């Protein structure tokens, strides 16, 4: 079953639509919060804590906020209403409304003060810590000035059990709204982790595709060459030997001419599969040219490389190529060279190419050591 993958690549139109939905979500979140505040202040009116002007004022502020937000979302200024979180201008407006409420109705000072925590819990999601500290300091100064102005009119409603109940309900709902911000952060973290995993998987797939020959599944020329150079560098610090083998098909052009390029491609893929099944764990195979393959054999002497190559050559020769196409016969020739101290990858490859030429000249379907 094919694994289900998620795509996070959006067209410009999809991005615009997504941001618009996010702005609407933020807008309705603010409206819902004001609706809760209107309800709570209405309850304080019913229990006799504040006059009717308090819920009326808060309802007016809610309508102003809802209308202003709706107009901004559908205006050229919508870029200033960021997704999900409160921006500085939204923070300023909402804090200002709370301060007006604090000055006008000091008997509900606790209500307006704890509301500031809800506002900042959302605003902090989109603020640098420096901006957060400066904003919080300015708000504390503003609150201090307002509290100084209202003086001893500040009180905590507790004259009746009904007032106390509404106070606790206000605190509970404020905590719930503030906690939702933490829940939202957790959801964002989960999404980011999922995207990071998908990104890591994509990077791995890209790395594999960039280093692999698409047809044969072996390493491509660039990757096998880089591997050879890396192996040579390690030999400067270790005493181990390194051998390479350059393998070439015999009369491969005749295979393509007689049976077609599709059969030729199948031969290359089959050869890659045969070799990979035979190689040791540290051996590496790469397609070096059209029908040439380079085999890197770490910690392998020339004699050991010759034995390995002979086993591979015989497996190719004895493979049932007739199952692919009647009359098809495939053999390979190989050159073998062992690294000599101070030799570059280019020099080593030149010697192995000469060994391959020797194998071809002496009858093909054989291996030769440089």
Note the pLDDT of residue 290. 85
Buried/exposed code over 230-260 (b: 16+ C-beta within 10 A; e: otherwise) = ebbeeeeeeeebbbbbbbbbbebeebbeebe
User: From the CA atom positions of the chain, what is the Rg in Å?
Assistant: 38
Q: Report how far residue 120's alpha carbon sits from residue 118's, in angstroms, rounded to the nearest whole number.
A: 6
Beta-carbon contacts of 5 under 8 Å, excluding residues fewer than 6 positions away, are 198
Q: Report how far residue 120's alpha carbon sits from residue 181's, in angstroms, rounded to the nearest whole number.
A: 10
Tell which wins on pLDDT, 45 or 67.
Answer: 45
- 2-6, 201-205, 244-248: least confident range: 2-6
**Statement: residue 30 has pLDDT above 90:** no
Note the pLDDT of residue 306. 94
85-135 pLDDT, tens digit per residue, is 456 666 777 788 888 888 888 888 888 888 887 777 777 666 677 777 777
Q: Report how far residue 312's alpha carbon sits from residue 293's, in angstroms, rounded to the nearest whole number.
A: 12
In the structure, what pLDDT confidence band is assigned to residue 5 with cuts at 50, 70 and 90? very low
Q: Is 59 exposed, middle or buried (CB count within 10 Å of its CB: 0-12, 13-18, 19+)?
A: middle
Q: Is the separation of the CB atoms in 112 and 58 below 8 Å?
A: no
**Annotated domain spans of the chain:** 12-203, 221-369
Strands 284-287 and 242-249, sheet pairing = unpaired
User: How many residues appear in the chain?
Assistant: 370
**Residue 328's closest CA among 240, 248, 258?**
258
- 35-39, 233-237, 300-304: least confident range: 233-237
Instruction: Please state, for a pLDDT cut of 90, what percent of the chain lies above it.
Output: 30
Please report the sign of the dihedral spanned by the C-alpha atoms of residue 233, residue 234, residue 240, residue 243.
negative
The structure tokens 């209107």 sit at 38
Q: Identify the three-state secondary structure at position 296.
A: strand
Sheet holding 332-338, edge to edge: 284-287, 292-298, 242-249, 332-338, 367-369
Domain 221-369: give its CATH superfamily. Answer: Reverse transcriptase/Diguanylate cyclase domain (3.30.70.270)
Q: Is the separation of the CB atoms in 72 and 80 below 8 Å?
A: yes
247-296 pLDDT, tens digit per residue, is 999 999 999 999 999 999 999 999 988 888 888 888 999 999 889 999 99
- 42-51, 66-75, 157-166, 231-240: least confident range: 66-75
Note the pLDDT of residue 81. 47
Q: Which residues are catalytic?
A: 291
Q: What is the DSSP string of 174-220?
A: HHHHHHHHHHHHHHHHHHHHHHHHHHHHHHHHHHHHHHB-TTTSSB-
Average pLDDT of the chain is: 82
Tell which wins on pLDDT, 24 or 261.
Answer: 261
Rounded mean pLDDT of 161-181? 84
**Statement: residue 49 has pLDDT above 80:** yes
For residue 299, report the phi and psi dihedrals to the nearest 5 degrees. Answer: 50, 45
Q: Is the separation of the CB atoms in 112 and 99 below 8 Å?
A: yes
Task: Give the pTM.
Answer: 0.53
Rounded mean pLDDT of 326-352? 92
Buried/exposed code over 334-359 (b: 16+ C-beta within 10 A; e: otherwise) = bbbbbbeeebebeebbebbbebbebb
């Amino acid at each position: 079953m094919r694994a289900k993958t998620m795509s996070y690549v959006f067209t410009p139109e999809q991005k615009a639509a997504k941001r618009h939905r996010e702005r609407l979500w933020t807008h309705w979140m603010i409206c819902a919060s004001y609706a809760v505040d209107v309800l709570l202040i209405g309850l304080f009116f019913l229990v006799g804590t504040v006059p009717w002007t308090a819920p009326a004022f808060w309802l007016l502020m809610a309508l102003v906020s809802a209308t202003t937000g709706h107009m901004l979302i559908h205006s050229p200024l919508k870029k200033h209403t960021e997704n999900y979180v409160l921006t500085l201008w939204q923070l300023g407006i909402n804090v200002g409304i709370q301060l007006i409420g604090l000055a006008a109705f000091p008997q509900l000072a606790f209500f307006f003060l704890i509301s500031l925590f809800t506002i900042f819990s959302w605003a902090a999601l989109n603020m640098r810590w420096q901006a957060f500290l400066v904003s919080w300091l300015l708000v504390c100064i503003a609150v201090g000035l307002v509290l100084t102005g209202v003086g001893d009119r500040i009180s905590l409603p507790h004259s009746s059990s009904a007032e106390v109940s509404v106070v606790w309900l206000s605190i509970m709902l404020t905590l719930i709204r503030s906690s939702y911000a933490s829940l939202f952060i957790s959801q964002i973290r989960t999404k980011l982790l999922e995207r990071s995993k998908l990104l890591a998987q994509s990077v791995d797939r890209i790395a594999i595709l960039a280093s692999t020959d698409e047809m044969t599944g072996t390493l491509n020329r660039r990757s096998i060459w880089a591997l050879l150079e890396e192996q040579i560098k390690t030999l400067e610090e270790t005493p181990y030997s390194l051998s390479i083998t350059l393998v070439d098909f015999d009369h491969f052009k005749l295979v393509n001419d007689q049976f077609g390029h599709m059969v030729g491609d199948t031969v290359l893929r089959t050869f890659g599969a045969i070799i990979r099944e035979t190689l040791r764990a540290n051996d590496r195979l790469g397609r070096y040219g059209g029908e040439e393959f380079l085999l890197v054999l770490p910690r392998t002497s020339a004699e050991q490389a010759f034995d390995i190559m002979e086993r591979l050559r015989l497996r190719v020769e004895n493979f049932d190529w007739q199952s692919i196409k009647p009359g098809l016969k495939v053999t390979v020739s190989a050159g073998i060279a062992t690294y000599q101290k101070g030799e570059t990858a280019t020099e080593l490859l030149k010697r192995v190419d000469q060994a391959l030429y020797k194998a071809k000249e002496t009858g093909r379907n054989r291996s030769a050591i440089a």
